[in-house]
Amino acid sequence: VTLRTAFTELVGVRHPIALAPMGGTAGGALAAAVSNGGGLGLVGGGREEVDWLERELRIVTENTSKPWGIGFLSWGADGHVVERALEYGPAAVMFSFGDPEPFARVVRASSPTAKLIVQVTDLEEARRAVDVGADIVVAQGSEAGGHGGSRATLPFVPAVVDLVAPIPVLAAGGVADGRGLAAALALGASGALVGTRFQASHEALVDAEVVKAILNGHGEDTERGRVLDIARRSPWPERYTARTLRNAFVERWRDRPDELAADTATLDDYQRAASRGDMDVVAVWAGEAIDLITEAQSASDMVGTMAALAEESIRHILEP
């Protein structure tokens, strides 16, 4: 038995699980592994160079015959790169954080088949997703790792479901196991988009130290803020803060973002420390659900396990 939803039907996957297109982390190998496991793998277009993206898109096409996709940042994507990516034949293209309208037009003009996924962090963005003709809406809560907004997943998802119906919704933020997936479905979502859990997989492009920090960390060790974006001289829009593991650098600068931005010497030091992987400064993107992540696995196995446990969790409610 499998959990069939509007999402699994629309994109033709077995399980209602999508990989969050984590920039730099969700490469072709991870996306292919998630797709081979029965979910929808999404390569993280993020802020990477087009050469990186094309290499990862070749890897995903060579490693799976199942549907897969790509995710871009609406505030930072380049229409030509999106067009180029579409030539690799993704089943879905996702846009997050910013106005998706220009890219929605690119996708519609360039591909007759690619589904348009739009991620939203508040109700206004959800309305905009409907306006631009999204095929799938991702409602992302603030417990998500990495960048996001300020709504919490549990009350936000049903509000988005009601607002965008009948467009299928994926829940994102705080889902790291079968129970979280079951909860997403109970809230009326057609599946879940999962990030941090897949960071702790064999196929993710992450350092071993980062995986170790995620496996050992707790939700209370994470926080949202702008300090690490400022430190990285990253041009993320202010409204999208990032959830990371707390570290010495965050503790030091949390309350002084403007001072940090103006302190060139500290920013240069940061860059040097980050590039040698100093865990006191690097941004370990991590969602609040890391309490539930205790071992690294193959991403393909994670998909099947999560789906099976979600179904078990749901059946258990009716037959305790």
Binding region for its own copies (CB under 8 A): 3-5, 122-123, 141-143, 150-156, 158-159, 162, 173-177, 179-180, 182-188, 218-220, 287-289, 291-292, 310-311, 313-315, 317-318, 320
Closest alpha carbon to 306 in 202, 179, 143: 179
Residue 105 CA: distances (Å) to CA of 59, 101, 126, 127? 27, 7, 18, 17
Of the pair 3, 53, the CB lying nearest its own copies is at: 3
Instruction: State the minimum distance, in angstroms, from the CB of residue 12 to its own copies.
Output: 16
Q: Which residue bears the tokens 């991620």? A: 119
Instruction: State the minimum distance, in angstroms, from the CB of residue 83 to its own copies.
Output: 35
Of the pair 14, 27, the CB lying nearest its own copies is at: 14
Of the pair 186, 274, the CB lying nearest its own copies is at: 186
Instruction: State the minimum distance, in angstroms, from the CB of residue 168 to its own copies.
Output: 11
Of the pair 17, 31, the CB lying nearest its own copies is at: 17
Instruction: State the minimum distance, in angstroms, from the CB of residue 310 to its own copies.
Output: 8
Of the pair 89, 225, the CB lying nearest its own copies is at: 225
Q: Which residue bears the tokens 């690294």? A: 296
Instruction: State the minimum distance, in angstroms, from the CB of residue 260 to its own copies.
Output: 18
Of the pair 45, 174, the CB lying nearest its own copies is at: 174
Instruction: State the minimum distance, in angstroms, from the CB of residue 59 to its own copies.
Output: 31
